[in-house]
Structure 1
Amino acid sequence: MQVIRGKVQKAKKVVLYGPEGIGKSSLAARFPRPIFIDTEGSTTEMDVDRLPKPTSWEMLKQQVQWVKQQAGQFGTLVIDTIDWAELLCNESVCAAHQKRGIEDFGYGKGYIYAEEEFGRFLNLLSDVIEAGINVVLNAHSQIVKFEQPDEMGAYDRYQLKLGKKTGSRTAALVKEWADMVLFINYKTFSVATDDKGRKHKGQGGVRTVYATHHPAWDAKNRHGLPDEFPLDYAHIAHIFEGPTNAQPVQTPPVATPPVQEAWGKMTDEQQLPQEQQPSAEEALKPHIPTDIPASLRDLMVQHQVSENEIQIVVSKRGYYPMDTPIANYDPGFVEGVLVGAWPQVFEMIKATRNDLPF
């Protein structure tokens, strides 16, 4: 057996969490060559590279797969936020089992299904780490009542805003998965307002990062960071300066989402007058009606799948007649079958393409 000795330099798994507007996204934008998957659409005012907002759990997973293949072009994948991604996960689980909500399963089974699916997603993010790309998960915080068996009384503490119900286990999964969990909050100071020091008021509001565990919050790190420090990337930059197993390119190309890949140029004979000439990409795009549900339509755009191709595979399986518009499909069928099992649906579409006589 091979024995590996000493430190192993590799990409980092980081969780940043805190109240809304504290500066989590701005801090994540300072990480090496970041690419954002903006699940809640909150980075529009930031000058960063981003992928389209995912409208389904399947689309989010495919975006992560695409980023994994871009090692060298990007150095950090930022999912902003992971608690909004959890909503997509729960919706996917419910659609797959034809349930209206995660608690409709009964006996906590819905949370078990969600935990299993979320665990597979964290494994996918670990593959991104192995490709040499850091992963940063931004999350909101929530205040919960906490009581330890060996202590008297209960107290409030900050936790990840994942799994607001007690039956959920996703927050624990994320904390275990991460190398570093940093809690960001406003640090206020108590100032006496009378001569005898009996009355006080809060003052200050300095944005502070907490890097170690405290009864009032979750935090951890494996890099010897101080218990707390000001919200400034400079305090953690040294952790991400070392080389990883990613191979950087000499001149990184402009970041482009997978739905915007170039299609090549037309020949001179095919050129139209400039005012009439569509782009090569537009000319080859299949027409996709706008009344198709966004979660399915985004996958169709990403994989260049036409409505007719969907109708063919659906009719072959006997779900709907060939001439039924996708807009008339049952929403549960769209989310639970077409979106929820998109990889299998797309394989059937590719097989249908191969069967064509030309």
Structure 2
Amino acid sequence: MFPITSGAITQAQRVLIYGPEGIGKTTLAAQFPGALFIDTEGGSGHLNVRRLPTPTSWTMLMQEVSWIRDFPEECATLVIDTADWAEKLCIEQVCKSKGWSGIEDPGYGKGYTYVKEEFGHLLNLLSEVRDRGVNIVLTAHATISKFELPDEMGAYDRWELKLLRRQTAPMVKEWADAVLFATYKTIVVDADANGKRKKAQGGKVRVLRTTHAATWDAKNRWGLSDEVPMDWAQIAPHIPQKPAVVVQAKNAHAATSAPAQTKPAPAAHAPTAQKAPAATKTRKAATASAATSATPEHVTSASATKAVPKPKPAAQTEPQWLAPIRDLMRSDGIEEALLLQALAKKGYITRDTPFSALREDFAGWLTSVWPQITSYIAQGMPDTK
């Protein structure tokens, strides 16, 4: 026997906003309730928004999304700005893990199959975040490409997502509850009396196309008109506000209740063998204070995030390919000496190898297996045979 239910189900929304550069996609996404940005390209710098560290690798991006899945009270809306820059990280990850110099090394189209599979993991993870009550917003750039229907003569230009046309773009459009195309409204008029010359007028009014047309992709399940002004007020009635209320209520309750356990920094695995971040020290201090009947100081999630120690500045002579490793080390609170010790114990490097001497290919491989490295460190670096 299975229960039968009826009626509309209110749930967090998965929204894709795409359009030409500079039209205001990021600004619109910032108006979603309780927005927290994962800014893959640095396009939100002019806005006063909350952000996670800019991911410099695919592994780091997946870790940050996993952290929001595990701690959904940190935001009401998760924004990835932009999806096409996230796709670049995905392609880099596939190439590094396979030892390719480019995505077309294995032959025509074969490399893109791996990209599609890997990017699908991100969409599945984002769906898990949505299931925890967090709205998801993806922004993306648009590009103009030639399109030809199989049963028609001739081709025409149309706006498309700036993603892999046959791999990631179809997945993202199917995954989203709403695909909104942001564009400028233009009108083509006759430029002369006989109508042989045309010119465009407008170009200043921004609109959202919400349904599919021959020249763009769009859809929505909200009953919006085919075209609406590019204004948050048009979208707001269809985006659940409850997640933001939950966050506010939780913070208000935390301020008057017993101290909650501080959340770890975004990471797929939380190592225990490294030097504790400041937030962890605060928690230990609170435990010691409680043992002496003193009232421990409450540590909010925001202050805990700020308390994560900043990475030591890399030497100017350090190769740029080590930057993703530095970011992962910061994210997981792993110090350089501890990482080198683990790599040496596994036999990957000698004990006197400096961090700056790690080769580019080895650094790329290390990024792809980072969860296994952090797990090994968390277990105390046991001897393996």
TM-score, length-normalised on structure 1? 0.86
- Name the CA distance, whole Å, in 1 between partners of 2:107 and 2:323: 29
**Contact kept in structure 2, 1:51 and 1:257, CA below 8 Å:** no
Q: Where does residue 259 of structure 2 map in the other structure?
A: none
CA distance in 2 between partners of 1:204 and 1:85 (Å)? 33
- Residue 375 (structure 2) aligns with: 347
Describe how 1:258-277 pairs up with structure 2 within 5 A. Answer: 258=265, 262=279, 263-264=281-282
Separation of aligned partners in 2, 1:105 and 1:125: 29
Shift of 1:194: 3.8
SS in 1 for 2:145: strand
How far did residue 204 of structure 1 move? 0.9
Deviation at 1:191, TM superposition (A): 3.4
Deviations 1:214-264 (A, max 9, x none): 0000001111110001110101110014546994342649xx993786342
- Residue of structure 2 in register with 1:270 after alignment: none
Partner of 2:76: 75
Coordinate RMSD, CA, aligned:
2.8
Matched AA of 2:370: W
2:132 aligned residue: 131
- Matching of residue 323 in structure 1 with residue 352 in structure 2: yes
Residues 238-253 of structure 1 correspond to what in structure 2 (within 5 A)?
238-241=237-240, 243=242, 247-250=246-249, 252=251
2:19–2:140 contact (8 Å) kept in structure 1:
yes
- The residue matched to 2:138 in structure 1 has which SS? strand
What is the alpha-carbon distance in structure 2 between the residues aligned to residue 236 and residue 173 of structure 1? 23
1:196 Cα deviation after fit = 5.0
- Hey, what's the Cα distance between the residues in 2 that align with 1:35 and 1:242? 15
Distance in 1 (CA, whole Å) between partners of 2:112 and 2:46 is 35
Deviates more, 1:20-29 or 1:70-79: 70-79
Q: Structure 1 CA distance, aligned partners of 2:227 and 2:308?
A: 55
- Corresponding residue of 2:8: 7
Local SS of the residue matching 1:111: helix
Segment drifting more, 319-328 vs 172-181: 319-328
Q: Secondary structure at the match of 1:174?
A: helix
Per-residue deviation, 1:314: 1.6
Structure-2 change in CA distance of 1:261 and 1:119 (3 Å) = farther
- Specify which of 330, 336, 339 is matched with residue 310 of structure 1: 339
- Cα deviation, residue 200, structure 1: 3.3
CA contact (8 A) 1:10 1:245 kept: no
Deviation of 1:114 (Å): 0.7
Structure 2 gaps of 5+ residues are 253-262, 267-276, 287-303
1:299 paired residue number: 328
1:231 aligned to 2:230?
A: yes
Q: Deviations over 1:176-220 (max 9, x none)?
A: 111110001111112344455544321111111000000000001
Distance 1:187 1:170 in 2: 28
Residue 311 of structure 1: how far off its partner (Å): 1.7
Aligned partner of 1:203 in structure 2 is: 201
The reply on whether 1:335 has 2:364 as its aligned counterpart is yes
Task: Give me the whole-angstrom Cα distance separating, in 1, the residues matched to 2:7 and 2:149.
Answer: 37
**Do 2:97 and 2:368's aligned partners in 1 also have CA atoms closer than 8 Å?**
yes
Correspondences of 1:24-103 after superposition (within 5 Å): 24-103=25-104
Tell me if structure 1 keeps the 8 A contact 2:160–2:217. yes
Look up the SS of the partner of 2:233 in the other structure. Answer: helix
- List per-residue Cα deviations over 1:91-130 (Å, max 9, x = no partner): 0110001111111121422111111110011000001100
TM (normalized to structure 2)? 0.80
- Percent sequence identity is 47
Cα distance in 2, alignment partners of residues 284 and 229 from structure 1: 45
Query: For 1:188, which of 186, 189, 192 is the aligned residue?
Result: 186
Is this contact kept in 1: 2:11–2:240, CA < 8 A? no
Q: CA deviation at 1:287?
A: 5.6
Separation in 2, partners of 1:171, 1:108: 15
Query: Which amino acid is 1:182 matched to?
Result: L
Could you tell me which runs of 5 or more consecutive residues in structure 1 were left unpaired when the two chains were aligned.
268-279
Counterpart contact for 2:18–2:140, Cα < 8 Å: yes
Partner amino acid, structure 2, of 1:221: N
Higher mean Cα deviation, 199-208 or 24-33? Answer: 199-208
- Separation (CA, whole Å) in 2 of partners of 1:261 and 1:105: 46
Q: Following TM superposition, by how much is the alpha carbon of 1:353 offset from its aligned partner in structure 2, in angstroms?
A: 6.0
Secondary structure of 2:353's match? Answer: coil
Given that 1:16 and 1:182 are in contact with CA atoms closer than 8 Å, whether structure 2 keeps it comes out as yes
Deviation at 1:316, TM superposition (A): 2.5
CA contact (8 A) 1:186 1:207 kept: yes
Partner of 1:275: none
Q: CA shift at 1:347, angstroms? A: 0.6
The 10-residue stretch of structure 1 (307-316 or 170-179) with the greater mean CA deviation from structure 2: 307-316
Distance 1:196-1:112 versus aligned 2 partners, 3 A rule = closer
3-state SS, counterpart of residue 351 of structure 2:
coil
